Amino acid sequence: MVFADLFFLYFFLPVCLIFYFMTRNLHIRNAVLIAFSLIFYAWGEPIWVSILIISAAVDYINGRVIDKYRGKPQARMAVVWSLIVNLGILVGFKYTGFIMENVNSLLGTSFNVPNIKLPIGISFYTFQTISYTIDCYWGKVKTQKNFFRFLLYVSLFPQLVAGPIVRYSTIGEEINDRKTTMQDVSEGMSRIILGIGKKVLIANALSKVVTTCFGEMSDGFAAVSNISVAGAWFGAAMVGLWYYFDFSGYSDIAIGLGRIFGFHFDENFKYPFICKSISEFWQRWHISLSSFFRDYLLYLPLFGKRRKYGGLFLVWFCTGLWHGASWNFILWGLYYGLFILMELKIGKKRMKKWSPVFSHIYTKVVIAIGFGIFYFEDLGALGRFFKALVGANGNSLTDSVTTTIFRNYLYVILLAVIFSMPVIPKLKELCMKQKSRAVFIQAAGVVCNVAILLVSSIMLVNTTNNPFLYFRF
């Protein structure tokens, strides 16, 4: 089941809310959320809900063991067992085929390459349970002694299948005690509608722009072979905007849904394209993932001691690999690692002296190339893309196809560029100063929300499958 679906918006969610708010009893409310979360997950893949429950059970037990044997070898073994089970599940489903392909390629063997279907959300909920176990071991969170409350944390449907990666420290207390105010409901609904609008009105249109420029992401060889220099740069920029509005739209919906149920998730995106450095970009983009690797992997002792640069490249290797079992994702991660290293060497003080114009050009060029690397899973197509960026494959400076696409989708591109910047927060800030017109401003906000929801719903009428991009990760 997906959020950008009429069945979810007009049946599943209303029914869930009715059952949830029928009672004030927190135990019953938690039970309602668990039931609807498991139904939500099992809707398309009923068999794989068992993996989620197993993962939750394993780390619930690990947490109890850590609490009972704190400071003893059994507690450390619980952390090791958590890593073995969760990473074993993740590697088994996500990377087995990739490993066998590379073994066959390197050794000339002919082992069977399994085609294993990836359970939705496995990259997110396994990281959540790992973070819980480690935080229990470090004493950062109290051990949850009720399995069903812990299962609620793992399975909570707003963030289950595509994040953000919500840590137990963020919502642990709210699982045990929370309240929902009318302000929570109002702001939550507005956030949900904003996310739906991002996905349906902007991201879906941008996906058509990208596939017209580059072809499908798994190949794209033929399309990128004939594209112009301008077309290559334009397409890469559109990939970035497409991924931003698709993934940040999902995060907005997740945060809004959580707010309605009394949970306060951390922000996952903070207008990343206004950054003036690549380090700042990653402080604003997919924050829950980058902070996870920073907190749990960056300072990991390598070969007996903490190694600053070794830890840095381990983080970026894993960041790339987390996104998919393909060499382009690993290259993408290491690509960003190189720029983070370069900026560390230059230093923040020196970079602050750069011209703002230069800083923005530098970051946007690096980011655009990065999204090109991310898009092309076929390395042959990726090589063609690199050549197209500088005209090295004999392509022209411009082409009629790119010009036509730009003209046909100009309104979407302008909306995407405008709303990738903090326009909405600035408008809210301006409106807060106009206290004399508060009623008019509130009414205008309601009208905008209704209009976005109505137009999005109309566009979803003939859509049978509208998944978010990060479902595949």
> Which tens digit of pLDDT belongs to each residue from 9-67?
999 999 999 999 999 999 999 999 999 999 998 887 788 888 999 999 999 999 999 99
Q: Which of these ranges, 123-127, 237-241, 450-454, 469-473, has the smallest mean pLDDT?
A: 469-473
| Cα-Cα-Cα-Cα dihedral sign, residues 192, 194, 197, 199 | negative
- Per DSSP, helices labelled H in 114-160 are 122-138, 147-155
- Say how far apart CA 417 and CA 399 lie, in whole Å: 22
> Which tens digit of pLDDT belongs to each residue from 19-33?
999 999 999 999 999
Looking at per-residue pLDDT, the higher value among 426 and 328 belongs to 328
Return the percentage of the chain with pLDDT > 70, whole number: 93
Dump the DSSP string for 189-220.
HHHHHHHHHIIIIIIHHHHHHHHHHH--TT--
Q: Which of these ranges, 76-85, 256-265, 310-319, 333-342, has the smallest mean pLDDT?
A: 310-319
- C-alpha distances in angstroms, 243 versus 251, 371, 372? 12, 9, 12
Q: Could you state, in order of their start, the residue ranges of all structural domains in the chain?
A: 6-178, 184-231+241-276+400-472
pLDDT at 222: 53
Per-residue pLDDT band for 438 (boundaries 50, 70, 90) equals low
Residue 170, helix vs strand vs coil: helix
Q: Are the C-beta atoms of residues 162 and 121 closer than 8 Å to each other? A: yes
The stretch 160-169 carries a mean pLDDT of 83
pLDDT at 465: 66
- Say how far apart CA 348 and CA 59 lie, in whole Å: 40
Q: Tokens at residue 434, please?
A: 């106009």
- Say how far apart CA 429 and CA 163 lie, in whole Å: 28
Per-residue pLDDT band for 300 (boundaries 50, 70, 90) equals low
Residue that is written with structure tokens 């059952």 in the block: 19
Per-residue pLDDT band for 281 (boundaries 50, 70, 90) equals very high
Q: Are the C-beta atoms of residues 286 and 248 closer than 8 Å to each other? A: no
Per-residue pLDDT band for 431 (boundaries 50, 70, 90) equals confident
- Say how far apart CA 406 and CA 412 lie, in whole Å: 10
Q: What is the mean pLDDT of the chain?
A: 88
pLDDT higher than 70, residue 220: no
pLDDT at 473: 60
- Say how far apart CA 159 and CA 254 lie, in whole Å: 5
pLDDT at 235: 92
Q: What DSSP character marks residue 117?
A: P
pLDDT at 218: 54
pLDDT at 1: 76
The stretch 429-436 carries a mean pLDDT of 71
> Which tens digit of pLDDT belongs to each residue from 85-142?
999 999 998 888 888 888 888 888 888 888 888 788 888 899 999 999 999 999 999 9
- Say how far apart CA 459 and CA 431 lie, in whole Å: 30
Known catalytic residues?
A: 323
Per-residue pLDDT band for 449 (boundaries 50, 70, 90) equals confident
Burial of residue 343, with CB atoms counted within 10 A of its CB: 0-12 exposed, 13-18 middle, 19 or more buried:
middle
Sequence-ordered list of residues with C-beta below 8 angstroms from that of 426, at least 6 positions apart, any chain? none
CA atoms within 13 A on the CB side of 461: 4
pLDDT at 398: 84
- Say how far apart CA 278 and CA 363 lie, in whole Å: 6
pLDDT at 272: 95
pLDDT higher than 80, residue 429: no
Sequence-ordered list of residues with C-beta below 8 angstroms from that of 388, at least 6 positions apart, any chain? 224, 227, 228, 229, 231, 232, 395
| Cα-Cα-Cα-Cα dihedral sign, residues 142, 148, 150, 152 | negative
The stretch 148-156 carries a mean pLDDT of 94
pLDDT higher than 80, residue 467: no
Per-residue pLDDT band for 447 (boundaries 50, 70, 90) equals confident
Residue 301, helix vs strand vs coil: strand
